[in-house]
């Protein structure tokens, strides 16, 4: 690889590689430039920080930190950009202890301070849910004559959400609402806040926060809808959950997760009629139910013993054991035939000859508890992936 780059073109090329997540090329370009006897003053701190960012963008956070550690050997003093890139790498690698150590080194270096490295440090504390340490960093900003940015609030609220600290989330939202930053608040902040309130079983606060988004003309994403619906589900507020689901459906963004939460809200509140209507509306929404959604329907029906009766009726129909529900089911005069057929298809392993109503309901409730845990893990994993 050639090393005949001017300082300006070298920096430009490294930034291009970083945007394309081409970390091996960025590292090779930098090292070849240094080794090929290009004057060391040209390979300055800006060049190294650009290479660090390229490595981080390529999910090579450890190599980014290694490059940061190499800077003194190259006789280059780390600056604001290098520390910010290193702290961002710590965030991506969930290295919260190293992030706190680097932040302390940054403070001791007396480099011109900026809120960016502190934000990265706060974010690094999110995955291990060290909200206490993140809060200490957040509250220390004014003592350094630094005003928290919107990113600061977003990182801090996310960290509190991971730590199940919904009360502090409410305090931060109120604090944010008193500042001019609220005018620039985005969906990321609200989705993290609503998720925290959902974990704290604060469905009324979750609904209130969801409503603030409409007042600010912020379009809710799937996380906001699903977390608010989940909070309503836990709070036995099935009507609010269904209203949110209808809103999401009208926006064309309802998915299997949304549908399952709405079903579970009906099941918990023993609203079996609404659960059946939701189930029968699936073909129009082009959503295929999974076992978690199926169990939610069963739980709603089991409260009145209907699940057991429908299962027995389903097994009495030869066609039910051979076919899945189809369009003709909806035209049947029998109201629950679609559910009957589905029960037989979804639970063929049940011994319909020896299964009594008590054992059926027990099986449904046991499966429902396990299914809820499975769905909860899936939802939080999905939210984490979307928030990164």
Mean pLDDT, rounded, for 84-108: 85
pLDDT exceeds 90 at position 369: no
Tokens of 291: 């076992």
Q: What is the mean pLDDT of residues 117-136?
A: 89
| Length in residues, the chain | 388
> Which of 99-113, 125-139, 260-274 has the highest average model confidence (pLDDT)?
125-139
The residues, any chain, with a CB within 8 Å of residue 146's CB and separated by 6 or more, are 113, 114, 115, 118
Checking if the pLDDT of 227 tops 90, the result is: yes
Residues 6+ away with beta carbon under 8 Å from 194: 206, 209, 210, 223, 224, 227, 228, 231
d(CA 140, CA 161): 20
Weakest-pLDDT range from 121-125, 176-180, 286-290 = 286-290
Statement: residue 360 has pLDDT above 60 = no
pLDDT range class, residue 42, cuts 50, 70, 90: very low
Banded model confidence at residue 341, pLDDT cuts 50, 70, 90: very low
pLDDT confidence of residue 198: 92
Q: What end-to-end distance do the CA atoms of the chain give, in Å?
A: 34
Instruction: Collapse the DSSP code of 352 into the 3-class scheme (helix H, G, I; strand E, B; otherwise coil) and give the result.
Output: coil
Predicted pLDDT at 138: 95
What pLDDT, on the 0 to 100 scale, is given for residue 208? Answer: 93
The set of residues, in sequence order, having a beta carbon less than 8 Å from that of 239 and lying 6+ positions away, is: none
- The secondary structure of the chain in percent helix, strand, coil, rounded to multiples of 5, reads 75, 0, 25
Residue 183 confidence (pLDDT) above 50: yes
Q: What is the pLDDT averaged over residues 174-193?
A: 88
**Chain segment 11-24, per-residue pLDDT in tens:** 676 676 666 666 55
Q: What pLDDT, on the 0 to 100 scale, is given for residue 242?
A: 92
Q: How confident is the model at residue 156 (pLDDT cuts 50, 70, 90)?
A: very high
Confidence at residue 311, expressed as pLDDT on a 0 to 100 scale: 55
Closest CA to 81 of 107, 58, 110, 47: 47
Using alpha carbons, list the distances in angstroms from residue 306 to 26, 252, 314, 335: 64, 32, 12, 13
Q: Render pLDDT for 309-334 as a digit per residue (tens, 0 to 9).
A: 655 554 554 444 444 444 433 433 33
Per-residue pLDDT, 385: 54
What is the average per-residue pLDDT within 270-290?
75
How many CA within 13 A on the CB side of residue 151? Answer: 11
Q: Is 165 helix (H, G, I), strand (E, B) or coil?
A: coil
DSSP at 39: -
Q: Residues 6 or more apart from 154 whose CB is under 8 A from it?
A: 186, 188, 189, 192
Query: Bigger pLDDT: 252 or 349?
Result: 252
State CA 233 to chain mean position distance: 19
- CB count in 10 Å sphere of residue 285: 15
**Which token pair is 28?**
């090779």
Pull the structure tokens for residue 154: 């977003």
**Angle (CA) 241 242 243, round 5°:** 90
Helix 7-19 with 23-35: angle, nearest 10 deg:
160
Phi/psi for 201 (5° steps) reads 60, 35
Angle at 244 between CA 242 and CA 248, to 5 degrees: 115
Confidence of residue 348 (pLDDT cuts 50, 70, 90): low
Q: Please state, rounded to an integer, the average pLDDT across all residues of the chain.
A: 74
Return the exposure string of 152-178: e unless at least 16 CB atoms fall within 10 Å of the residue's CB, then b.
bbbbbbbbbbbbebbebbbebbeebee
- 80-92 vs 45-57: helix crossing angle, rounded to 10: 10
Q: List CB contacts of 231: < 8 A, sequence separation 6 or more.
A: 194, 197, 198, 201, 202, 203, 206, 207
Burial 105-141 (b: 16+ CB within 10 A, else e): ebeeeebeebbbbbbbbbbbbbbbbbbebbbebbeeb
The pLDDT score that the predictor gives to residue 344 is 53
Q: Phi/psi of residue 311, each to 5°?
A: -65, -45
Q: What is the dihedral of CA 315, 318, 320, 322, to 10 degrees?
A: 130
What is the CB-side half-sphere exposure of residue 93 using CA atoms within 13 A? Answer: 22
Of the two residues 189 and 1, the one the predictor is more confident about is 189
């Amino acid at each position: 690889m050639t090393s005949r780059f001017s300082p300006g073109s070298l920096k430009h090329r490294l930034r291009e590689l970083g945007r394309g997540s081409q970390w091996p090329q960025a590292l090779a370009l930098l090292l070849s430039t240094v080794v090929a006897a290009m004057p060391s003053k040209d390979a300055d701190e800006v060049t190294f920080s650009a290479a660090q960012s390229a490595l981080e963008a390529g999910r090579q956070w450890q190599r980014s930190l290694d490059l940061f550690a190499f800077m003194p050997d190259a006789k280059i003093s780390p600056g604001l950009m290098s520390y910010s890139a290193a702290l961002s790498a710590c965030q991506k690698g969930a290295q919260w202890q190293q992030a706190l150590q680097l932040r302390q080194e940054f403070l001791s270096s007396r480099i011109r301070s900026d809120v960016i490295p502190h934000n990265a440090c706060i974010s690094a504390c999110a995955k291990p849910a060290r909200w206490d340490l993140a809060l200490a960093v957040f509250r220390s900003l004014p003592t350094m004559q630094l005003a928290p940015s919107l990113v600061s609030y977003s990182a801090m609220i996310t960290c509190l959400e991971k730590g199940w600290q919904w009360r502090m989330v409410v305090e931060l939202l109120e604090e944010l609402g008193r500042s001019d930053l609220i005018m620039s608040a985005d969906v990321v902040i609200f989705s993290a806040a609503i998720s925290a309130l959902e974990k704290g079983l604060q469905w009324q606060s979750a609904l209130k926060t969801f409503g603030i988004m409409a007042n600010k003309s912020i379009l809710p994403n799937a996380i906001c809808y699903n977390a608010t619906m989940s909070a309503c589900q836990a709070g036995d507020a099935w009507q609010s959950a269904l209203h949110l689901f209808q809103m999401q459906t009208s926006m064309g963004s309802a998915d299997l997760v949304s549908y399952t939460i709405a079903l579970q809200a009906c099941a918990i509140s023993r609203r079996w009629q609404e659960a059946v209507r939701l189930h029968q509306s699936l073909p129009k929404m082009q959503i295929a139910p999974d076992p978690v959604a199926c169990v939610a329907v069963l739980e709603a029906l089991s409260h009145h013993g209907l699940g057991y009766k429908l299962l027995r009726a389903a097994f009495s129909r030869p066609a039910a054991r051979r076919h899945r529900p189809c369009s003709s089911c909806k035209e049947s005069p029998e109201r629950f035939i679609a559910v009957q057929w589905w029960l037989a298809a979804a639970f063929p392993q049940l011994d319909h000859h020896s299964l009594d109503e008590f054992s059926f309901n027990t099986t449904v409730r046991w499966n429902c508890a396990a299914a809820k845990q499975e769905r909860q893990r899936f939802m939080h994993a999905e939210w984490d992936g979307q928030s990164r």
